[in-house]
Amino acid sequence: MKVVVCDPIHPKGFEVLKKASDIEVVDASKTPKDELLKVIEDADGVITRSPTPVDEKFLSHAKKLKAIVRAGVGVDNVDIDACSKRGIIVMNVPTANTLAAVELTMAHILTAARSFTNAVWNLKKEREWNREKWLGIELYGKKLGIIGFGNIGSRVGVRAKAFGMEVIAYDPYIDPSKATDLGCKYTTDFDEILKCDFITIHTPKTPETINMITKKEIEKMKDGVVLINCARGGLYNEKDVLEGLKSGKIRWLGIDVYEKEPTTNHPFFDVENTSVTPHIGANTIESQERIAIQAAEAIIEALRGSSYPNALNLPINTANTPEWVIKYLELSQKMGYILSQIINEPIKKVKISLSGDISKEDKSVLTFALVGLLKNITDNVNYVNAEFLAKEKGIDTEIIKTKNDTYKNLVSIKVITDNGEYSISGTMLETHPRVVEFKGFDLEFEPKGKMIFFKNTDVPGVIGEVGMTLAKYNINIADFRLGRNQEGQAMAVIIVDDKVNEDVLNELRNLKAALSVAYAEI
């Protein structure tokens, strides 16, 4: 499968891509955009950043495209609706740059309090010693209003509290306890935010948030208010903010994002009471490395069909779906994908058993499980057509809601064929996905990596023989999980570092105690 990297990413991302034996990597990060259209014609997946517009023109050339990863948070450059119509999954990397954005926000807050950038420039470039001119204010005791209390906003709140600030959070889409548990105040009254000494915004750019701060809101603010925006350009009305800066109503503006980017000639650059940075919120070495790695892993998983991390055009409203539910849906797809790789015969029926609160999401679980399960049967399965394709291929589906005394939530998938049954069950242990049953054996493992499933008669010496066989092929064992039943049989899930070929699997099958051997990758 061909992956085209359209814009520069950290070298670690290329390392991840090149290690995937089923991925052909094309580095088009330095290719002119008009020539890029030819490069993507046979691409299965692309990784982009903001310089590449994924619009109708782009999509009309990328006729084989199945998945797009925007290496970063914002997807302003991606026409998600057009992608959805073509069945192309769009993903982003929303949390990799969280700490970088948080720390840049704090840098702007501190700069606003102490006119730091101006004092540095005045001394270094103008060689003036003006201690009296740069009289600042302290953060201690000041009120910080945070608009948007998600991954970034909440962490800004924690750090601001460490400076002794009083933090007030406004976010109609969170449970108030998310703020109060951190010692912050939660409000549904936006005017309460407008009364704060400092105001910072951490929301996506949507019709609801564009121009969230205009002249009307500024008039309600304290004289000498400080505004910070390290989120997206256009959340504050730039013309109205400029007017407030010039009048002194706004003491300081710290800004990293603009309505039109890139820009080197902006009115904000001409006023003294601003700290301006060129959209560097994600620009740390650590952040860029995380973004590249996560983007590479996401495109690989998407093209393999095992999962679609942080997909933005799923058949569920991810903005209003609790994160724990999304994790179970992803786990369901991964479990289906594992079964798809070990079943080599026609599927007659798929039975989904659910217990706990996740049973309320029964239709979504079925859809995600089918997407994973049908991946090796058809190459055009997606969340929209999964159930239709299953019916087309004569696969019956059934959903059962049960009770389970062991796990708070449990998802079980049973696949029935003419020759037998294949089952797999999973849950979340804290925030970690775990398979807890496989083909009737109780055992626990993370559905990730290169997995050998080795069923054998439960006799002494088997583990040693398996280890010696793998060592013969220089295959390192990363993890070894074992389950046993009452019939004198055992099932091992062996996680290995290296890809396993048929020669290795056949040699394992020839071991005296072996009953069955299968292999799967996620």
For residue 262, whether the previous peptide bond is cis, meaning omega lies within 30 degrees of 0, is yes
49, 232, 251, 290: the catalytic one is 232
Residues 424, 435: Cα–Cα separation, whole Å? 7
* 261, 232 contact by CB (below 8 A): no
Q: What does the DSSP assignment read for 400-432?
A: EEE--SS-SSEEEEEEEETTEEEEEEEEEETTE
* 137, 226 contact by CB (below 8 A): no
49, 279, 290, 304: the catalytic one is 279
Residues 87, 89: Cα–Cα separation, whole Å? 6
- SS3 state of residue 274: strand
Residues 315, 324: Cα–Cα separation, whole Å? 16
- Give the count of beta carbons closer than 10 Å to the beta carbon of residue 420: 10
* 164, 143 contact by CB (below 8 A): no
Q: Which two tokens stand for residue 407?
A: 């796990």
Q: Which two tokens stand for residue 78?
A: 């991606």
Q: Which residues pair with 422 in a beta bridge?
A: 415
Give the residue carrying structure tokens 């902006």. Answer: 266
Active site residue 272: no
**Integer Rg of the chain from CA:** 27
261, 286, 345, 398: the catalytic one is 261
Active site residue 261: yes
CA 410 to chain centre: 23
Active site residue 481: no
Sheet containing 489-496: give its strands across: 477-484, 489-496, 450-457, 514-521
Q: Among residues 141, 140, 196, which one has the least CA distance to residue 168? A: 196
Angle between helices 323-342 and 362-373 (to 10 degrees): 30
Q: Which residues pair with 441 in a beta bridge?
A: 438
Q: Which residues pair with 201 in a beta bridge?
A: 147, 229
If you ran DSSP here, which 8-state letter would residue 459 be given? -
- Give the count of beta carbons closer than 10 Å to the beta carbon of residue 30: 7
Q: Which residues pair with 453 in a beta bridge?
A: 493, 518
Q: What does the DSSP assignment read for 52-65?
A: S-BSHHHHHH-TT-
Catalytic residues: 232, 261, 279
